[in-house]
Amino acid sequence: TKWVYTFGDGKAEGKADMKNLLGGKGANLAEMSNLGLPVPPGFTITTEVCTYYYAHGETYPAELKGDVEKALAQVGELTGKSFGDAANPLLVSVRSGARASMPGMMDTVLNLGLNDETVDAVAKLAGDRRFAYDSYRRFITMYSDVVMGVAHHHYEEILEHYKVEKGYILDTELSADDWAFLITKYKAKYQAELGKPFPQDPHEQLWGAIGAVFGSWMNNRAITYRRLHAIPESWGTAVNVQSMVFGNMGETSATGVAFTRNPSTGENALYGEFLVNAQGEDVVAGIRTPQDLTERARIHAGSTKPSMEAALPEAFKAFERISHILENHYRDMQDMEFTVEKGKLWMLQTRSGKRTGKAALRIAVELANEGLITEEEAVGRVEPGSLDQLLHPAIDPKAERTVLTTGLPASPGAASGAIVFSADEAEAWKDKGRKVILVRAETSPEDINGMHAAEGILTSRGGMTSHAAVVARGMGKPCVSGAGALRIDYAAQTMTVSGETFKKGDLITIDGGTGQVLKGEVPMQQPELSGEFATLMGWADKVRRLKVRANAETPADARMARSFGAEGIGLCRTEHMFFDAGRILAVREMILADDEAGRRAALAKLLPMQRDDFVELFEIMKGLPVTIRLLDPPLHEFLPHTEAETLEVAKSLGVDVERIERRNKELHEMNPMLGFRGCRIAIAFPEIAEMQARAIFEAAVIAAKTTGETVVPEIMVPLIATKAELDIVGAVIRKAAAAVEEETGAKLTFQVGTMIELPRAALQADKIAESAEFFSFGTNDLTQTTFGVSRDDAGTFLGTYVQKGIVETDPFVSIDVDGVGQLVKLGAERGRATRPNLKLGICGEHGGDPASVKFCDSIGLDYVSCSPFRVPIARLAAAQAAL
Ligand code: ADP
Ligand code: MG
Ligand code: MG
């Protein structure tokens, strides 16, 4: 086996596509060498050595020592130096490098090979004692910290103490002798901490560092990171040993990092930072403020420190040229690390750069327009979930703002709503059709449902990585966290800020992009859906097979869905219409009625309102398919639950309070999720389904006239377990259709179908398909019923399950392919076996989850349906599934 791959001097044994063997860093160092770019020579010890190391009780393959010696000799030849040589020593860096960049892995050790002897040789060769001793003290601290686990601060304390004693402020004031003196102190500290002297033998140093890299593969940080990112342990890490170049050799030396394009905006302009007379991590460590790379950036930032373009013009020009070469070669935005030694540029790393969603979009589209990548590749380059950041409304820049306070901009987008102080309340208000902002001191996992229900989240405590911030970003909801000026009084249900007290229900607006908290409801601007976004979406639509619909019932949601490119409504939840203030009373009257006649009287009041709802939806959707689900939730959800509310309802309806209480008791259920709901209501009270069907058909007749389009409603019966249920409800629907046709003289086209959301329905799909013209997999309920887990109660244990790796991801977020997914697949197959043209879709949270969309595409569903905001995400995910 070949364990070691060399690179340098315009060639390399490895190349970019050998990441599995050489790690990302090593493969790209090889590739840059092959491109003839200036890369300090070095070699990569492969990931297979790491695997071997752990398979053989933490020992190396027998040949490794010899292979490393040989590679070291070759690097020595290329650099004209020799590792361990007292007169002309080769110094190296030891750098870890897994396949994917992985925080938790060992930090880099620089200047390895220095000892009491070689430091003087380096001083002589460089003609600079200070440089040599500065490098040596850096090496001792790095080696101690990274390899031996003796933290930096031990040495920093010594340094700080010395500076105070000498009256120095900056490290640059220390002379060669100062560093030489400190080095004796550092070495004494090392011995005191570890009970042995600092290793003087360069080979011992080297193998110590190599062992530390492999050891770090199994440290807790790395293990946790791998678990969170599903990186298999078997991958292993590589080790890169590379000859040193020095950015700390005075004013013509420097070190820096740069992106070929701006990683936050995507702008096509070199973007980065550098530091003169510095080494390695100084740039990111934040000890000194780095300088801008280009004059343009410097002027823009109003900085007085010279840019690299001005300070090191030759090296800058070389770097600019190389960054173009690299971007063209890799056909992607690159993130690069470089060092300038006495005016000469050296490349130390390149990789595809991390970027914001906005930048990803712009870069993908521009690279395609520049001809560097194809349109399909551009489609594949943008993470669908990242579009979330771009799809939220922003505060109209022309709007007047009354800023109450400013917290942290924790999750982008702006939102207005009524203040509520608890998650339960957020849910309750949302169910009643109110938009709310959840205001909390901080949030915890029990608040998830309320966070879901809220338009936005505002907390007075916690930072950018607080629970509220992390969860809100995950949900794509605006969040302002850590607004410390807020005084929340849960008992009084008030919030005080800038001298003003707000009650529950008062309107506020939050801007998660700026962190501002604003008084009242501020006008919003809908997201910019033109430009690169529209271009990329157009490209995505060209390649995808899967159609994308939206879950929508209000006209506003339906319009939003269309503007986001929805190709119909996949789920219109009629019960949401029932909560409307204008009709909840009639709904309650219907529920309280003692007999069919009483119910019919109340339903007659609801009919024209429902009809109007559907007319508007059909008109907005202009002939696109609209799937309407019959009433689904348990009836008791519509009844008043507090004493005060009950009293009010009793008065309005002219009935006794006792009657309401009795009905509430009758309808009370131990487990409503599995109770009197779905088609069970339509079977017990067919007149409800009849009214809804009639409203749909009458609306279809009206909308066909106003739009000039054929309106083909798809009527969906929820929670079917047997074909018989569908037959009974289907007959009610068809009878209503016949009646409307008779009355209006119009000819109706419609479909009757069902939700498949119970395991039995999936298993019986062949039978059910005899009566259903379409299936919509209701994977929210199907997940609950397949796992036997109530989503509303899962909060207490599901987190632990994910943590322990029992489930990979929350099955309510991303479809459980192995279980729930198999039921969907089986249901689809059995359904289509009976009825080959059976229309198949999915609705629920999974419809907007990229991984779930991919699964839906793979099993041949016709469409996914998701919330309007996620429609573009689903379109892009569907396109990527088809690539
Ligand atoms: P990370 O993976 O954390 O980026 P690196 O291995 O890239 O770690 O090392 C960090 C920094 O150390 C590099 O950006 C570079 O500035 C410096 N460095 C690493 N190797 C060398 C070297 N051979 N010569 C000079 N500087 C180096
Ligand atoms: Mg690096
Ligand atoms: Mg359901």
What does the pLDDT look like over 219-252, one tens digit per residue?
888 888 888 788 888 899 999 999 999 999 989 9
Report the nearest atom of ligand 1 relative to the CA of 92. 23
SS3 sequence of 602-616 = HHHHHHHHHHHHHHH
What does the pLDDT look like over 806-826, one tens digit per residue?
888 888 889 999 999 999 999
Contacts of 580 (CB under 8 A, 6+ apart): 433, 609
What does the pLDDT look like over 718-738, one tens digit per residue?
999 999 999 999 999 999 999
What does the pLDDT look like over 530-569, one tens digit per residue?
789 999 999 999 999 999 999 988 888 899 899 999 999 9
Average pLDDT of span 842-867: 94
pLDDT value, residue 391: 80
Output the CA torsion sign for 790, 791, 795, 799: positive
Measured in whole angstroms, the distance separating CA 434 from the mean position of its chain's CA atoms is: 27
pLDDT category of residue 408 using cuts at 50, 70 and 90: confident
Span from the CA of 459 to the centroid of ligand 3 (angstroms):
32
Ligand nearest to the CA of 38: 1
Q: Is 280 in the pocket of ligand 1 (CB under 6 A)?
A: yes
What does the pLDDT look like over 41-85, one tens digit per residue?
999 999 999 999 999 999 999 999 999 999 999 999 999 999 999
Question: For residues 277 and 251, is the Cβ–Cβ distance under 8 A?
Answer: yes
**243 against 845, higher pLDDT:** 243
Residue whose CB lies within 8 A of the most ligand 1 atoms, among 39, 93, 213, 273, for a mutation test: 93
Among protein residues, the one with the nearest Cα to ligand 1's atom 3 is: 107
Domains of the chain listed by start with CATH number: 4-243 (3.30.1490.20), 254-355 (3.30.470.20), 392-525 (3.50.30.10), 544-577+606-631+682-882 (3.20.20.60)
* ipTM exceeding cut-off 0.95 for this assembly: yes
Residue whose CB lies within 8 A of the most ligand 1 atoms, among 72, 225, 337, 347, for a mutation test: 337
Span from the CA of 280 to the centroid of ligand 1 (angstroms):
5
Residues with CB under 5 A from ligand 3 (ion): 757, 778, 781
Q: Is 347 in the pocket of ligand 1 (CB under 6 A)?
A: no
Decide if pLDDT at 470 tops 70.
no
Ligand nearest to the CA of 241: 1
Average pLDDT of span 301-310: 92
pLDDT > 70: percent of the chain: 98
Ligand nearest to the CA of 679: 3
Decide if pLDDT at 284 tops 80.
no
Question: Tokens standing for 601?
Answer: 């009287």
Decide if pLDDT at 685 tops 80.
yes
Span from the CA of 19 to the centroid of ligand 2 (angstroms):
15
pLDDT value, residue 82: 96
Question: For residues 763 and 716, is the Cβ–Cβ distance under 8 A?
Answer: no
Span from the CA of 332 to the centroid of ligand 2 (angstroms):
18
pLDDT value, residue 406: 93
Decide if pLDDT at 351 tops 60.
yes
Question: For residues 775 and 749, is the Cβ–Cβ distance under 8 A?
Answer: no
Among protein residues, the one with the nearest Cα to ligand 1's atom 17 is: 280
**Which DSSP string do the residues of 13-76 spell out, in sequence order?**
S--GGGHHHHHHHHHHHHHHHHTT-----EEEE-HHHHHHHHHTTS---TTHHHHHHHHHHHHH
pLDDT value, residue 475: 65
**391 against 140, higher pLDDT:** 140
Output the CA torsion sign for 679, 681, 686, 688: negative
Nearest-angstrom CA–CA distance, 216 and 394: 44
Contacts of 858 (CB under 8 A, 6+ apart): 881
Top mean pLDDT of 271-280, 404-413, 722-731 is at 722-731
Q: Is 861 in the pocket of ligand 1 (CB under 6 A)?
A: no
What does the pLDDT look like over 655-668, one tens digit per residue?
999 999 999 999 99
Decide if pLDDT at 516 tops 70.
yes
Ligand nearest to the CA of 777: 3
Residue whose CB lies within 8 A of the most ligand 1 atoms, among 95, 99, 107, 210, for a mutation test: 95
**560 against 258, higher pLDDT:** 258
Question: Tokens standing for 135?
Answer: 């490098």
**841 against 400, higher pLDDT:** 841
Secondary element (H or E) of residue 258 = strand 254-259
Q: Is 24 in the pocket of ligand 1 (CB under 6 A)?
A: no
Q: Is 245 in the pocket of ligand 1 (CB under 6 A)?
A: yes
pLDDT value, residue 803: 77
Q: Is 44 in the pocket of ligand 1 (CB under 6 A)?
A: no
Decide if pLDDT at 764 tops 60.
yes
pLDDT value, residue 640: 85
Q: Is 79 in the pocket of ligand 1 (CB under 6 A)?
A: no
Span from the CA of 240 to the centroid of ligand 1 (angstroms):
10
Decide if pLDDT at 784 tops 70.
yes
Among protein residues, the one with the nearest Cα to ligand 1's atom 24 is: 244
Report the nearest atom of ligand 1 relative to the CA of 338. 16
Span from the CA of 554 to the centroid of ligand 1 (angstroms):
55
Output the CA torsion sign for 764, 768, 769, 772: negative
What does the pLDDT look like over 125-161, one tens digit per residue?
999 999 999 999 999 999 999 999 998 899 999 999 9
Nearest-angstrom CA–CA distance, 633 and 575: 7
Among protein residues, the one with the nearest Cα to ligand 1's atom 10 is: 280
> Is 801 in a helix, a strand, or coil?
helix
**How distant, in Å, are the alpha carbons of 128, 136, 308, 312 from that of 317?**
27, 31, 10, 9
Contacts of 459 (CB under 8 A, 6+ apart): 407, 439, 440, 441, 442, 443, 466, 468, 479, 480, 481, 482, 483
Span from the CA of 685 to the centroid of ligand 3 (angstroms):
19
821 closest CA partner among 833, 808, 834: 808
Residues with catalytic roles: 467, 843
Residue whose CB lies within 8 A of the most ligand 1 atoms, among 29, 92, 108, for a mutation test: 108
Q: What is the phi-psi region of residue 626: left when phi exceeds 0, alpha when psi lies from -120 to 50, beta otherwise?
A: beta
Decide if pLDDT at 755 tops 90.
yes
Query: What value does the mean pLDDT of the chain take?
Result: 92
Among protein residues, the one with the nearest Cα to ligand 1's atom 9 is: 108
The single residue listed with the structure tokens 């070199």 is 270
Decide if pLDDT at 283 tops 80.
no
Q: Is 244 in the pocket of ligand 1 (CB under 6 A)?
A: yes
Residue whose CB lies within 8 A of the most ligand 1 atoms, among 273, 349, 350, for a mutation test: 349
Number of helices and strands (H, E) in the chain?
35, 32
Span from the CA of 213 to the centroid of ligand 1 (angstroms):
14
Question: Tokens standing for 693?
Answer: 């069907």
Average pLDDT of span 359-378: 97
Nearest-angstrom CA–CA distance, 214 and 151: 19
Span from the CA of 348 to the centroid of ligand 1 (angstroms):
6
Report the nearest atom of ligand 1 relative to the CA of 242. 23
Nearest-angstrom CA–CA distance, 18 and 2: 13
